[in-house]
Structure 1
Amino acid sequence: MSTPDQPTDAREKLSAHFQGDSSLHNQKWDALWKEGFLPWDKGFPSPALVDLLADRKDLFGSVTEGKKRKALVPGCGKGYDVLLFSAYGYDAYGLDVSETALEAAKETERRMEGDETYEIKGVEKGSVNWIVGDFFTNDFWKDVEGEGTFDLIYDYTFLSALPPSLRAGWSARFKELLAPQGKIICVEFPTYKPHSTGGPPWALPPKVYLGHLSRPGQELPYDEETGLLESELKEPGKDRLERLEHFPPKRTHQIGYNADGKVTDWVSVWAHPNAL
């Protein structure tokens, strides 16, 4: 499937660039930032996230004066979503493996000062923090204040950038970093790609999020052609994360629409079972 936002030649370049040893992917992402090859950058926050935070305060509540909460955006890129969480009162942390990406994020922060998209949406604005680090290690914790968990963790295009071999680690890490009463937001993308087409972005139908976040840390069975084998999954255990909401957003980035103008992305919200 070709779209105006990410034409076939861009996807082919990404696929070729990430062939080989997955342990080198961090350096390869940084190389793309240094080259300025950024087909994933849309220039503004995800419309699905904008609407979710504005319309579903019942899920997230509001930050009261003097009580700060922390939000994490792994693979934050230029940081549009980080700035949005700050506007809602979260102390927002944008994490990326590329220092070049975070220099661009700092420029976004300067350039967007006073933009109505990032006007204060709560009692007070939260802090904005840019951290170079690897989501799968604890090295970045030296730059995070407070306890070692986050009240909100956001994923849009981060999981799609990771090869399927890292999905068990991704889900385990989300569970580990989520505060006891915290929430995870996933804007599920790309849901329309066949698994066999590879990536990045890797195919992510809703069954992948449900399979992995319901079974954090477990290696799940995949078929090279069809993807996740749902029929072979075991029942989720006590260490699961629970899906609270799952729905197609009213709006999303253009790349999340099909040729008929229908939204193909989904939004899911997750929590620890004891937080329900």
Structure 2
Amino acid sequence: MSTNDQPTDARARLRQHFLGDKSLHIKKWDDLYIEDFLPWDKGFVNPAFVDLLHDRKELFPNTEGKRGKALVPGCGKGYDVLLLDEHGYDAYGLESSKNALIAAKEIEKQAKATGQYIGRGDVNWVDGDFFDDGWLIEVQGEKKFDLIYDYTFLSALPPSLRPAWSKRFKDLLAPGGRIVCVEFPTYKPHSTGGPPWALPPKVYMAHLSRPGQELPYAEESGLQESELGDASPDGLQCIAHFQPKRTHNGGYDEQGKITDWVSVWAHPSE
């Protein structure tokens, strides 16, 4: 397809871009950074995450005076990583796109030069595939995290990777740690495809409470809740689930109502 033949709608263009061999998806994401076609990039942290860290401190673990470790998989240009650094975390921004990391490092440099942020932890930019272990060599100390943040990362993954995504999140979460998901897009029908893939709250609830399990999906209607069965005994526990007071503009419907949700997860009985 020539440039002139590409769909004008951003989501249609994304869907077209990712048709075909799923093994090429990492390269295809990097290609979008080269083209500077980044419709998901708003240029700043989602306000829902800002508010959560500022207003709901009781949801997060007490690291007993030590700096916690935070992970943002699929960090893009790294706005969330810098925010977590400001909150005192040693923050790791993981990306499979080398060009995204080049942009993230430049944004960090400019932000420091202009005094826009002063970090209290350490920032670490890591090139790697979330589902492989090779990048963990870059992680200092124990290879687990006190906070893992997902916003638009899961929506970028084909639904077939959701069992692996949930298991990986569970395995990388430190005892006492928290997973934060800003759930988006919640309003799309499953049949519309992606990215971004439809992610109603039931998808997060089903997969994170059953990490690693293959769950039943129908081509048109998506997740089949009536066929799920019980959650896993070692599944993650949702300790908070609510709609934020504000979010990025893509999380509002035509009437101005927020469609995003925020969920916070922990290991069982924590």
- Aligned pair 1:178/2:173, yes or no? yes
SS at match of 2:210: coil
Q: Secondary structure at the match of 2:45?
A: coil
Contact kept, 8 Å, 2:175 with 2:267, in 1: the verdict is yes
- Report the AA paired with residue 216 of structure 2: P
1:49-70 Cα distance to aligned partner (Å, 9 max, x none): 00000000111156665x1210
- CA distance in 2 between counterparts of 1:115 and 1:182 reads 33
- Does the CA contact (< 8 Å) of 1:63 and 1:89 recur in 2? no
- The structure 1 residue matched to 2:266, chosen from 258, 261, 271, is 271
Structure 1 distance, partners of 2:152, 2:188, is 14
Shift of 1:184: 0.1
Paired AA for residue 177 in structure 2: G
Match of 1:96?
95
Relative to the length of structure 1, the TM-score reads 0.92
User: What residue in structure 2 maps to residue 15 of structure 1?
Assistant: 15
Q: Is the 8 A contact 2:210 2:231 kept in 1?
A: yes
Work out whether 1:42 is the aligned partner of 2:42: yes
Contact kept, 8 Å, 1:84 with 1:117, in 2: the verdict is: no
Aligned residue among 224, 231, 236 for 1:229:
224
**Residue 208 in 1 paired to residue 203 in 2?**
yes
Question: Offset of 1:43 from its aligned partner?
Answer: 0.5
User: Aligned runs of 1:3-152 on 2, under 5 Å?
Assistant: 9-61=9-61, 65=65, 67-113=66-112, 118-119=117-118, 125-152=120-147
Q: Residue deviations 1:174-226, cap 9 Å, x none? A: 00000011000000000010100000000000000000000000000001111
Say if 1:126 and 1:196 are closer, same or farther in 2 by CA, change over 3 A.
same
Q: Which runs of 5+ in 1 are unaligned?
A: 1-6
Alignment map for 1:183-202 (pairs within 5 Å): 183-202=178-197
> Taking every aligned residue pair, what percent have the same amino acid on both sides?
66
**Residue equivalent to 1:166:** 161
Q: In the TM superposition, what whole-angstrom CA distance separates every residue of 1:94-125 from its partner, at most 9, and x where no partner exists?
A: 000011000000011012227777456xxxx0
1:32 aligns to what SS in structure 2?
helix
Equivalent AA in structure 1 for residue 16 of structure 2: A
Distance in 2 (alpha carbons) for counterparts of 1:272 and 1:63:
16
Instruction: Provide the secondary structure at the position in 1 that maps to 2:161.
Output: helix
Unpaired runs of at least 5, structure 2: 1-6
Partners of 1:117 and 1:211 lie apart in 2 by 39
User: What is the RMSD computed on CA atoms of the aligned residues?
Assistant: 1.5
In 1: Cα distance, 2:187 partner to 2:209 partner? 22
| Structure 1 counterpart SS, 2:211 | coil
Q: What is the aligned length?
A: 264
The amino acid of 1:191's aligned partner reads T
- State the AA in 2 paired with 1:157: T
Name 2:4's counterpart in structure 1. none
